[in-house]
Amino acid sequence: MAPIVSLILANLPAIVKSGQTVVEFVRRERTAMTQSGEWTDADERAFADLLVAAGRSPAWQQDK
Amino acid sequence: MKFLARLLARFVALCAVVTFTGCASLEPSADAVAVRAEQTVATAFNVFDAFLNLEHANRDLVKAKAPQVHTFAEWLREPVPENGAMVPRGLSLIQSANRVRLAYKSNRTPDNHASLQAALSALARAANETQTQLTALQTLTR
């Protein structure tokens, strides 16, 4: 079974419950699915930087 | 009847999405387990980040109209210990799975594979719940 199909099936309860997330869910997943090889060192660094930036973002901080 | 029509519409949408969505074929040198793990941590981050940013942008509305969504967002933001520092729980979940992923990439043993599957399952559960909350939030802010 294609990965995207098994991914959708695994998430089907949440997708059906929400009613509008099938396309959004797949659109988000599709970006990741177009990956054809393992991350390079640069990809690893970019992801690590993304996590550091998120940790500093106000959106990730609890209410004062 | 209305329910059946909506169900049918969703099924058709699902079929269309599945039919027209392809997956990139892996390079011969790529390890499918490693690639899938990278996709999982990246997708989990995207879902957490999208949810927290949307909730943050509408914080007053969410607190007033959907306090349970705000409570979940605060749970994701709650600082927890991670490698000697305090970081938001959402990031801790990702960093924790990421460490296991990197351990697998450097030493692809059956034990590390099993640990990776467990870590990714836990992360996927949190991402699925966040996706549900994100959907509720999108409905509220639409």
Q: Do B30 and A36 touch (CB under 8 A)?
A: yes
CA of A41, closest CA in chain B: separation in Å? Answer: 11
CA of A12, closest CA in chain B: separation in Å? Answer: 10
The torsion angles phi and psi of B109, rounded to 5 degrees, stand at -90, 160
The torsion angles phi and psi of B13, rounded to 5 degrees, stand at -60, -40
B86: its two tokens: 């305090």
pLDDT of residue B63: 95
ipTM value greater than 0.90: no
pLDDT of residue B25: 76
Report d(CA A8, CA A27) in Å as an integer.
Answer: 12
Segment B32-44, tens digit of pLDDT: 999 999 999 999 9
pLDDT of residue B17: 44
A51: its two tokens: 């996590």
B99: its two tokens: 């460490």
A41: its two tokens: 């060192």
B72 → chain A, closest CA residue? A62
Task: Tell me the torsion sign for CA atoms B74, A53, B130, B5.
Answer: positive
A9 → chain B, closest CA residue? B14
Mean residue pLDDT of chain B comes to: 86
A40 close to B (CB below 8 A): no
Segment A1-53, tens digit of pLDDT: 555 666 666 666 555 555 545 666 666 566 556 778 899 999 999 999 999 99
Report d(CA B77, CA B65) in Å as an integer.
Answer: 20
What is the interface size between A and B, counted as CB pairs within 8 Å? 124
Among the listed residues B76, B75, B71, B55, the one whose alpha carbon sits nearest the alpha carbon of residue B140: B55
pLDDT of residue B4: 53
Which residue ranges in chain B fall short of pLDDT 70?
1-24
Q: Do B24 and A50 touch (CB under 8 A)?
A: no
- How many DSSP H helices and E strands does chain B contain? 6, 2
B86 close to A (CB below 8 A): no
Tell me if B2 sits within 8 A of B66, measured CB to CB: no
pLDDT of residue A10: 62
pLDDT of residue B61: 95
Report d(CA B90, CA A13) in Å as an integer.
Answer: 22
Report d(CA B136, CA B30) in Å as an integer.
Answer: 37
Tell me if B86 sits within 8 A of B80, measured CB to CB: yes
